[in-house]
A and B are shown apart, each in its own frame.
Chain A
């Protein structure tokens, strides 16, 4: 168990023995040669690579099951519907949702958050009310709330953080006021790697009767989550960050909320009956799924989750923490390199800056060495402002990354020094 990420579902299958070498063999792209060198992919927090099991499932879906869902009376449509609902059920299991009905299929965590801001927000946030986010949110968990607040005349407030990149929880009770209508907080920071104590935040908010949305996009690549144990009201994830296809994700919502809040978009699929006078809506989760959904994406996400459900997450957590520590120690030992984000509890994400060299130049030179890292503000401009840097370089590690990948990164940084200090 990675600290703070919750436990594996009780009925988890007996896991495969974890061996990064065997895991790597599942990911065809990792054997690519880039710029004449073996690819080292360290941009997993932006998007992860896909195992053969996911790629094969997508192919099998299109070759043998493709049809529209929930409508056809013919066998093929039943197959497609079954595959689609299997994807939903697998995702529910990975998050330990009480039922698949509480999993709304969306384009990704961004759409999940926008859905809650638009539906819950419309019904519950009025002029003078407050929405509470944290200082380390991705823009996708700031802007939808900001738009809502502007529309409603509400106020966006922020849980502060310290200079290690940890939320200052002592400030939380005073920030949750009688006007607070929702708390929206990230489980794991994409730019700092911080694992937030969301269970504690949720408990504090619930004591005051305030629901909590958790942005879980950066948490689920590092292991299953347990939305029941966290007791969150909403939890949003993206498939492509957890080794599944792009363009699909899930929003978990407690049944009571999903039944209470209005639909998101109108259209086919989300209705029970339509006349020109009145439309009644389908039960959850279909109520939130207007239009033909991303069927193949959902099946692919199911395959990714199925793959992940068979892994030994205790061993993976230990491996990722080992890689993280090695990366942090190695980078710290390079003169002029400073880590941004040094929380006690971190996922395998390392942001850093280098004296006299802009992150963008680090990224270009690393790329020449076959090492793919992210440079920029990582869609967290307030975090960059807080640390007084325009941007950082970021290496984010997944289960298939190794200590050798870290060595290649460090060698690339040495090359940066050569170019800039020659």
Chain B
């Protein structure tokens, strides 16, 4: 049987209550909207990317505890990292919450993001955890057309 405490870990509840980087970035050069139309989660992501490094990042929006904590922990995890590193984290994160059952332990590199490992047991919630990451991916990819980041 699945256990609620696996899903709602303290770190997730904490980031839901007091999300980090919950702000608009006036000097953002990469932004994107994300939403889960079915559950009404909405997020706007702001990133300031300079020479391929995410110098600053913030988000706004409303959503469930999982999507909000995921956005909060994601921004904390990718701040100061390169765009490539952020995309690698996304791949590892996605594998952890939505990959095949019976896979090895989540990558060490995920750090605090491993709090979301329990999401896998709640298939309806996987998209909540992934939403901020998809939005980040869109923000980083979308702006590449207009903004040189490398």
Contact = CB atoms under 8 A, between A and B. Distances in A.
Main secondary structure on chain B at its contact with chain A? mixed
Given A360-B41, A364-B125, A368-B4, 16 more contacts: A356-B17, A358-B41, A358-B63, A358-B68, A360-B64, A364-B124, A365-B4, A365-B8, A376-B40, A377-B40, A390-B62, A390-B63, A391-B40, A419-B8, A419-B13, A420-B65
A391 B41 CA distance: 9
Contacts of B4: 364-365, 368, 415, 419
Contact of B64 (A358, A368, A377): A358
A391 B8 contact: no
A357 B69 CA distance: 13
Interface string B38-49: 111110000000
A164 interface: no
A297 to B, nearest CB: 26
Interface in B15-29: 17
Interface residues of B, number: 22
A368 B39 contact: no
A35 interface: yes
Kindly name the residue among A357, A376, A390 whose own CB sees the greatest number of chain B CB atoms within 10 A. Answer: A390
A376 B125 contact: no
Kindly name the residue among A360, A365, A376, A377 whose own CB sees the greatest number of chain B CB atoms within 10 A. Answer: A360
Interface of A: 35-36, 356-361, 364-365, 368, 375-377, 384, 390-391, 415, 419-420, 422
Contacts of B68: 358
A36 B4 CA distance: 14
10 contacts: A356-B17, A358-B64, A360-B41, A360-B66, A360-B125, A364-B4, A364-B7, A364-B124, A390-B40, A390-B63
A303 B62 CA distance: 45
Given A35-B1, A36-B1, A420-B13, A390 B65 contact: no
Contacts of B113: none
Contacts, number: 56
B96 interface: no
A279 to B, nearest CB: 41
B140 interface: no
B66 A361 contact: yes
A376 B62 contact: no
A361 B2 CA distance: 15
A364 B122 contact: yes
A354 to B, nearest CB: 12
A26 to B, nearest CB: 29
A375 B122 CA distance: 15
Contacts of A422: 13
B30 to A, nearest CB: 25
A358 B65 contact: yes
B38 to A, nearest CB: 6
B40 A384 contact: yes
Contacts of A35: 1-2
Contacts of B7: 364
B128 interface: yes
B41 A361 contact: no
A358 B38 CA distance: 13
B148 to A, nearest CB: 36
Contacts of A358: 41, 62-65, 68
A361 B122 CA distance: 11
A360 B1 contact: no
Given A419-B4, A420-B13, A375 B65 contact: no
Contacts of B62: 358, 390
A299 B41 CA distance: 40
A420 to B, nearest CB: 7
Interface in B39-78: 39-42, 62-66, 68
Contacts of A375: 39
Nearest to B122: A364
A391 B128 CA distance: 14
B132 to A, nearest CB: 14
Nearest to A369: B4
Contacts of A390: 40-42, 62-63
